Chain A
Amino acid sequence: MSFESIMVVSAILFCIGLYGSLARRNVLAVLMSIELMFNAVNVTLVAMAKYLAPAALQDDISSVLTGQVFAVFIITVAAAEIALGLGIVFAMYRTNESVDLSEATALRN
């Protein structure tokens, strides 16, 4: 389990999420793909926290936890994002009777 292999796995996860968020028509599938990207970023942050030496390592040993702190923040923001996102999905379903993004054209032109 080398550092590079973890980076490559999380890059694969991120790119699958990117493809899914751009190429799907269902808004829930897009939200799920965005969650995939969040997870890939979290894995990257935690792997860097474990393997790489932070600049402040000599002064303060707790600086090796910085990556994990940022992962906690990302998880919180992801929870806020999914709550709002699903609220928007329900509002959209109420007005459009559909969660298909190609039919969400109310703001076009």
Chain B
Amino acid sequence: MLFQDVTFWILSVMAIGGALGVVMVPDLFRAALLLIVVFIAVAGFFILLSAEFLAVVQVLIYVGAIAILIIFAVMLTRDVQHGNLPNRMQMPAAVLAALLFAALVAVAVDTQWEFLPAEQQERVDLVQTSAVTTLTGDVLTEAGITSPEEQAEVQNAGLADLLISDYVLPFEAVSVLLLAALIGALVLVRPNPGTGRG
């Protein structure tokens, strides 16, 4: 438990420091590099929260694709010497963000959350981890899940099964959205044939 706490606080400092850097650092290129630090810290949070599959996806998509795309954009637009200037909305934006933060903290602390019963916690962790590992019968018996029906239930619960059973409609919709976004991006950056400008 202590190890988890220490890791959590290190990751929090990484994430918050990196995020502050993203919005404060004048050099846009450095801001993009600090964004990668935030992404990696968030991947660490996912591992702490027993969402290993999401941590892998986070590193692959955010660090591998999105951050690289942003760095490419920073270098291609050649506006780096201009830097990361604030606009006139700085004070109202800071006030709004502080107010929202106060409201969020009040809600997070005040709400009567319906927590998982402690005896269910280990089972839930196993189900959430089963997205990346094949759980053998021994592990499940050790965790107190002994009856064959329960073992089968835990073994069969997985992110992929949910995505293609309960959530198949949003899954298909989001794939169409991704296709539309890619075609839209291609159309947007295509040279304009009318003016001949690049």
Chain A residues with CB under 8 Å of chain B are: 1, 3-9, 11-20, 22-26, 28-29, 31-33, 35-36, 39, 42-43, 46-47, 49-53, 57, 61-62, 64-66, 68-69, 71-73, 75-84, 86-91, 93-94, 98-102
Contacts and interface: CB of A to CB of B under 8 A. Distances in A.
A19 to B, nearest CB: 4
Interface in B68-84: 69-70, 73-74, 76-77, 79, 82-84
B120 interface: yes
Contacts of B22: 16, 20, 29, 32-33, 36
Contacts of B45: 6, 9, 43, 46-47
A16 B178 contact: no
Contacts of B171: 73
Contacts of A83: 69, 181-182, 185
Given A71-B51, A84-B188, A42 B42 contact: yes
Given A23-B89, A72-B54, A84-B181, A65 B42 contact: no
A3 B62 CA distance: 25
Contacts of B139: none
B87 A4 contact: no
A84 B90 contact: no
Contacts of A15: 97-98, 100-101, 104
Interface of A is mostly: helix
Interface of B: 4-5, 8, 12, 15-16, 19-20, 22-23, 28, 31-32, 35, 38-39, 42, 45-46, 48-51, 53-54, 57-58, 61-62, 65-66, 69-70, 73-74, 76-77, 79, 82-87, 89-90, 92-94, 96-98, 100-101, 104-105, 108-109, 113-117, 120, 123-125, 127-128, 131, 153-154, 156-159, 161-163, 167, 170-171, 174, 177-178, 180-182, 184-189, 197-198
Q: Which of B89, B97, B98 has the most CB of A within 10 A?
A: B97
Contacts of B73: 28, 86, 89-90
18 contacts: A9-B12, A11-B108, A16-B20, A26-B85, A28-B70, A46-B45, A46-B49, A62-B127, A65-B157, A65-B158, A73-B174, A79-B65, A84-B184, A89-B73, A90-B188, A90-B189, A99-B77, A102-B87
Contacts of A90: 73, 76-77, 188-189
Given A61-B153, A77-B177, 5 more contacts: A23-B23, A50-B49, A73-B170, A79-B61, A87-B189
Interface of B is mostly: helix
Given A29-B84, A51-B115, A9 B174 contact: no
B76 A49 contact: no
A82 to B, nearest CB: 5
Contact of A28 (B74, B92, B96, B188): B74
A24 B87 contact: yes
